[in-house]
Chains A and B, each alone.
Chain A
Amino acid sequence: MTHLTMDQLLELDEPGLEPGTAQARAHLTACAACRAEYERLRQRQARLRALPTLRPARDRWPVVAQRLAVERRRRLVQRAAVAISAIAALLLLAVSLRPAAPARDVEGFAAEAQIADLMERSRALEAAIGAAQPDQRVVDGRTIGVATDLEARIADLDRMLEVQELDAPPGRGDMQRVQLWRERVGLLNALVDVHVTNARNVGL
């Protein structure tokens, strides 16, 4: 009698009916040796399933977490780059659809930047004058005269700037405003010299 092979024994537990399985089952019923072999196979499989769970010697989570963080940063940078590219493309499109705009816009941006800088310098100079407390100092008549003249000219410039801000149409008169602010800074510098440094050095 030919005993069942290992393939045939394993096939007995597989789902579905392979050709020859019914015949193998019949043989198994009749053959004690094959039944013993089949039982040993099943026991071996049960012992495999009962083997202890192996555990890692090291904690690998910090490495995984670090890789995830790097991956997340990389994705954020990619998204930001895509967003910036999209915005740049839209701006370019908008500019290209308005042919008259670029030259004026560039000039306007430059003027605004200069005015912002001059305004900041004006504020700093006014702060320096305020810190010197000129009203509480004893000064000679010439110094008072020079300071009064400077303050009057600054007041004139302020009125002109106010008119420019209110009346000039958007985008026009930018360079005039820059010029007015420059003059204002110059006068404030002179006033600082009068109050803080030395009124005799002001050559007005």
Chain B
Amino acid sequence: MESYPLANAESVVARARSGDPAAFEALYRAFESPVYNLARRICRTTEDAEDVLQETFFEVCRSIGQFRAEGSLWGWIRTITASKALMRLRRNKYRDADELPDEVPSAKREDTALRMDLEAALERLGETSRAVVWLHDVEGYTHDEIAGMMGRTASFSKSQLARAHVRLRGWLGEESAS
């Protein structure tokens, strides 16, 4: 799992706790990219991702007193980011491709001739399944943790992940010959 060390993290956090604006900005500069990246991988648009970035750091600066020093600073910020991004998804109520149907279309019915790159294939997934793929496969969250953040069950998270991988496999032209 990727981490984003911040030089003098303890000092910066201590100053931020006392309300030092320079420390707040230092936190922002250190974690701006990973926060935006996670938000953008979950949200549909760059505008939504930028809003999540903004809301996340507003929350981080307001709640820095609640951060426990023995934990990972990035882990704490990442959880806030994921929650904000998932909240944004729920608020926007994008339902078009979120709930994958029980019967997954066969790869042959999909455009297997078109070999997508991974970015395009990921973008093509429904928002919920894309969020599950990213949170599980990239950020390393467990299905229980994802279920908690989404307000769903672990089984829901597992099935979203499996179906998303079936689709990705088809779009990327990775179907097995057998």
Taking beta carbons and an 8 Å cutoff, which residues of A are in contact with B? 3, 5-7, 10-11, 14-15, 33, 36-37, 40-41, 44-45, 47-49, 51, 53-58, 60-61, 63-65, 67-68, 71-72
How long is the Cα–Cα vector from A71 to B50 in the complex, in angstroms? 20
Instruction: State whether A6 touches B165 (Cβ < 8 A).
Output: yes
Selected from A36, A40, A55, A64, the residue in CB contact (under 8 A) with B54 is: A64
Instruction: State whether A14 touches B143 (Cβ < 8 A).
Output: yes
The 9 closest A-B pairs by CB, nearest first: A6-B162, A7-B162, A33-B178, A56-B36, A45-B137, A54-B40, A53-B37, A54-B37, A64-B57
Q: A6-B166, A54-B37, A64-B24 are in contact. List 10 more A-B contacts (CB 8 A).
A: A3-B178, A10-B165, A33-B176, A41-B165, A44-B172, A45-B137, A55-B37, A60-B50, A63-B54, A67-B54
Instruction: State whether A44 touches B169 (Cβ < 8 A).
Output: yes
Asked if B158 CB lies within 8 Å of chain A CBs, one says yes
Q: Which residues of B have CB within 8 Å of A56?
A: 32-33, 36, 46, 49-50, 53
Closest CB-CB distance, B96 to chain A, in whole Å? 22
Q: Of all chain A residues, which has the CB nearest B133? A: A48
Q: Which residues of A have CB within 8 Å of B163?
A: 6
Q: How does the 8 Å CB contact mask read for B16-57 relative to A, with 1 for contact and 0 for none?
A: 000101001100110011101100110000100110011001
Known: A49-B138, A65-B24. A55 touches B161 (CB 8 A): no
Asked if B112 CB lies within 8 Å of chain A CBs, one says no
Closest CB-CB distance, B74 to chain A, in whole Å? 13
